[in-house]
Amino acid sequence: MLLLYMDKQSGHAKVAEAVSEAFADIPNPHYHLYLIPLMEALYPWMEPLSKIHWWLRMNFVSFYNYLWQNSGLASKINTEKLRLILGLISKKATAYCMQYRPQAIIFTHAFPSYLLNTHKCKEVRHFIGIITDYEVHPYWVNDSIEYYFVPAEEIKEKLIFWKREPEKIFVSGLPIRKSVLSSKDKGEICKEFGLKENLPIILVISGSQGMFPFNKIVKAIKLHYPKAQLLLLTGRNEKMYRKLLRLKLKDCVVLRYYNQMWKIYSICDVAITKCGAVSITELLAKNVPIIVFGKLPGQEKYNLSYFLARNLVSYAQNVSELINLVEEKLSQHATTPKITTTTVVRLNAAEIIAKKLIELLQ
């Protein structure tokens, strides 16, 4: 089996890793699962395009939202003629995948499903999609994908509305990496980062692209909570990383893209973040109070609606609202029991998917 995703530093990659880990834990002599980061393996020239995509996404939110849920455009792209043209353009992807002689190809991102020329993938028994948001866009509904794993019942209902077969849609939950659920002494981790265990620690995480007004957020928090300690994750935004380092902020730890997120989740008292489904799900699994902040393009807009409806996150549209929510969350975190999120977060989602994949092939 091949599991295709676009970019190693993304939520799609984290989901792929979670499924791979669970698959490796199941005694299974007959099947192997290979992870393929398509952009790195075949299309490294796409990385600058990815940055342009993110810039458009953050600066033209309404237009991006329009494209993201445009079922008419999705239908046009999914015509047999256009899919064949895309498949011919991407001979490289089809040839690369077929050298493994896969019996199943799995996608955590819809785009690779359009690159494969399925007419030349005759050995492949199943094409499978794993939806990594709490909403689904119409580009997932294409002729190649037969089975779906979805994080919530609402996604299944929408796919059924789009005429996908109900018996081929499995509500699994959103896969979480084993490492995220790891636990370690808080004091040890704080010592590693040079932080004090007895003072509040606020995480500011902006996703892989680091597109957050860190300066405004840090200035406001430090003004109102001078004793607060900050963990700032700038992702791949090297310019922002260097800028924050030059400021030499007191009680602030500035990090680039960071893989050992379980350490950070284990020590923070509040998380300020964008509304990526994977990050929010991981934070909920660790029972960290969450404030979603900033513009919400595409899937993030719908993820927010899903979480707000279940009272699992708070949303700040500006810095003033953010400060009020930080105060509220810190006081709640200190005086009330942690929330329980098992109704939304399925800690065994990756295991459910791994077992079902083997069952489908058997």
Q: Domain with 16 in it: what CATH number? A: 3.40.50
| Dihedral (Cα; 243, 246, 250, 256), 10-degree rounding | 50
Domain at 287, CATH number? 3.40.50.2000
Q: Select the more confidently predicted residue: 145 or 8.
A: 145
Q: Select the more confidently predicted residue: 114 or 4.
A: 4
Ordered alpha helix ranges (H), the chain? 11-24, 38-41, 47-59, 61-68, 71-77, 80-89, 91-98, 111-115, 153-161, 186-193, 214-224, 238-247, 261-267, 277-285, 299-309, 319-335, 349-361
- Residue 326 domain-assigned? yes
- Residue 341 domain-assigned? no
- Residue 340 domain-assigned? no
- Residue 103 domain-assigned? yes
Q: Which long-range contacts (CB under 8 A, 24 or more apart) does 256-260 make?
A: 257/9, 257/208, 257/233, 258/233, 260/179
Q: Select the more confidently predicted residue: 361 or 42.
A: 361
Closest to 221 (Cα-Cα) out of 333, 317, 313, 322: 322
- Residue 140 domain-assigned? yes
Give yes or no: residues 167 and 39 share one domain.
yes
DSSP per-residue codes, 192-249: HHT--TTS-EEEEE-TTTT-S-HHHHHHHHHHH-TT-EEEEE-TT-HHHHHHHHHHT-
271/321 Cα distance (integer angstroms) = 15
Give yes or no: residues 119 and 246 share one domain.
no
Percent pLDDT > 70 in the chain is 89
pLDDT surpasses 60 at 336? no
For the segment 167-192, the average pLDDT, to the nearest whole number, is: 90
CB atoms within 10 A of CB 95: 12
For the segment 22-47, the average pLDDT, to the nearest whole number, is: 83
For the segment 249-271, the average pLDDT, to the nearest whole number, is: 88
Give yes or no: residues 15 and 64 share one domain.
yes
301/275 Cα distance (integer angstroms) = 8
Map tokens 């699992």 to a residue: 312
Mean pLDDT of the chain: 86
For the segment 210-224, the average pLDDT, to the nearest whole number, is: 82
Q: Distances from the Cα of 58 to the Cαs of 27, 53, 216, 240, 251, in angstroms?
A: 44, 9, 17, 16, 29
Give yes or no: residues 37 and 162 share one domain.
yes
- Residue 17 domain-assigned? yes
Q: Give pLDDT, residue 166.
A: 96
Q: Give pLDDT, residue 171.
A: 96
Give yes or no: residues 200 and 268 share one domain.
yes
- Residue 343 domain-assigned? no
pLDDT surpasses 70 at 7? yes
Give yes or no: residues 197 and 147 share one domain.
no
Using pLDDT thresholds of 50, 70 and 90, give the confidence band for residue 39: confident
Using pLDDT thresholds of 50, 70 and 90, give the confidence band for residue 260: confident
Q: Give pLDDT, residue 337.
A: 47
pLDDT surpasses 80 at 98? yes
Give yes or no: residues 137 and 152 share one domain.
yes
φ, ψ for residue 97 (rounded to 5)?
Answer: -70, -40
Q: Give pLDDT, residue 245.
A: 84
Q: Give pLDDT, residue 47.
A: 67
For the segment 139-149, the average pLDDT, to the nearest whole number, is: 90
Q: Give pLDDT, residue 23.
A: 94
Give yes or no: residues 23 and 138 share one domain.
yes
Q: Give pLDDT, residue 49.
A: 67
Give yes or no: residues 91 and 209 share one domain.
no
- Residue 356 domain-assigned? yes
Residues spanned by the domain of 251: 179-335
Q: Distances from the Cα of 307 to the Cαs of 72, 109, 245, 292, in angstroms?
A: 28, 22, 33, 10
Count structural domains, the chain.
2
Q: Select the more confidently predicted residue: 219 or 71.
A: 219
Q: Select the more confidently predicted residue: 82 or 124.
A: 124
Give yes or no: residues 185 and 58 share one domain.
no
For the segment 91-116, the average pLDDT, to the nearest whole number, is: 89
**In contact, 137 and 110? CB cutoff 8 Å:** yes
Predicted TM-score (pTM) of the model is 0.89
Q: Give pLDDT, residue 173.
A: 95
pLDDT surpasses 90 at 212? no
Give yes or no: residues 172 and 183 share one domain.
no
For the segment 201-211, the average pLDDT, to the nearest whole number, is: 77
Give yes or no: residues 352 and 312 share one domain.
no
Cross-strand partners of 126? 104
Q: Give pLDDT, residue 48.
A: 65
HSE at residue 297, side-chain half, CA atoms within 13 A, is 15
Q: Distances from the Cα of 44 to the Cαs of 41, 91, 105, in angstroms?
A: 7, 16, 21
Convert the pLDDT of each residue in 297-309 to its tens digit.
788 888 999 999 9
CB atoms within 10 A of CB 48: 9
Sign of CA dihedral 132, 143, 359, 357: negative
